[in-house]
Amino acid sequence: MPDITPATARATFAVGLEATARGIVDVLTETFADGDTAIAAFERPDGRWDITVHFEHAPDQEAVNNLVTLAAGDAAAATLVFDTIAATDWVKSSLDGLAPVRAGRFVVHGQHDRDRIPLNKIGIEIEAALAFGTGHHGTTRGCLMLLDEVLRAYRPRRVLDLGSGTGVLAIAAAKALRINVLASDIDPRAAEVARDNARLNGVGNLVDSICATGFSAPHFAARAPFDLVLANILANPLKALATPMSRQLAPSGLVILSGLLLPHATGVIAAYRNRGLVLRRHLKLDGWSSLLMQRAG
């Protein structure tokens, strides 16, 4: 069912450059991490960028103003406008305006672009939903780019998407490999969204989406050892998972790690090196790091 609100509160402000807009969207996305907002950036005819934040509930306007000032500066905050739009699916209204995201052979898109995906690309349709991962964030795009690189040289047989969110990485792996992929998330709503998205993309029979914390569920023991683990989470959880994740990897198994701001990557790399993994690739996009690491031997 769509998430229809009686009325949607909206805040809009303008900035100059695309790179600036992307950075501000990342900051706001990290700040509003509780699922009550949808954030998007759109280029205007004059070359400037509008950033729009849709709120499920009426926001504290002073707090939002202060946050925009911190994230974007006084000039951007001076353009901040609050308004209310009619009852709508507030997340969908934000995501429908987003252009498809290309990452190697993968293209993440909404329903409105379903018929525009080139035949030589793998389309991944993600419905508007209260779960992270539309492909527009630098971490998701980085994971998809590394996944594409891996799959051009290697065909893993046992794949895990840990912290799956919308399921975009699990769906990408399942569509490219046509094999069963395990997807897990600590949030039951996210696990449900990933399951729905897998069905939408024709791989509902290949993606097994579960709600689990860490590697505690019996599903992991039944599927391990994994040839490839995808984990787009955050730095501290990734460091905490280094030991159990290394134990779940097959010899020479690969991990793609993301959700890392650039300054945090070094600590995560060190944590996994201490568990016998070697860094193969460090991809930096929009201020975020995505890592490809491999178990030695």
CA–CA distance, 277 with 279 (Å, rounded to integer):
7
| Cβ-contact 196, 183 below 8 angstroms | no
Tokens of 244: 């159990």
Distance between CA atoms of residues 242 and 277, nearest Å: 10
- In this prediction, residue 126 carries a pLDDT of 84
Residue-wise pLDDT tens for the chain (297 aa)?
Answer: 344 445 678 889 988 877 788 888 877 777 775 556 778 777 777 778 888 888 877 888 898 888 888 888 888 889 999 988 665 554 555 555 556 778 899 998 887 778 888 889 999 998 654 434 555 567 888 999 999 999 999 999 999 999 998 899 999 999 999 999 999 999 898 899 899 999 999 999 999 999 998 888 899 999 999 999 999 988 899 999 999 999 999 999 999 999 888 889 999 999 999 999 999 999 998 788 999 999 986
The pLDDT assigned to 211 comes to: 94
Look at residue 1 in the predicted model and tell me its pLDDT: 38
Indicate the CATH number of 4-95 among 1.10.3210.10, 3.30.70.1710, 3.30.70.1110, 3.40.50.10680.
3.30.70.1710
C-alpha 105 chain-centroid distance: 17
Starting at the earlier edge strand, list the strands of the sheet with 101-103: 101-103, 106-109, 122-125
CA-closest candidate to residue 232, choices 276, 273, 285 = 285
CATH topology for 131-295 is Rossmann fold (3.40.50)
Domain with CATH 3.40.50.150 in the chain: 131-295
Question: What counts of helices (H) and strands (E) characterise the chain?
Answer: 11, 16
Please give the torsion angle defined by the CA atoms of residues 29, 204, 179 and 152, in that order, rounded to the nearest 10 degrees: -40
Alpha-carbon gap, residue 106 to 176, rounded angstroms: 9
Rg (CA), the chain: 19
What is the reported pTM? 0.69
Map residue 8 onto helix, strand or coil. strand
Max CA pair span of the chain:
58
Q: Which two three-digit tokens encode residue 257?
A: 């790690």
Q: What residue ranges of the chain are covered by domains with CATH 3.30.70.1710?
A: 4-95
Per-residue DSSP letter, 38: E
- Nearest Cα to Cα of residue 211 among 226, 196, 228, 189: 189
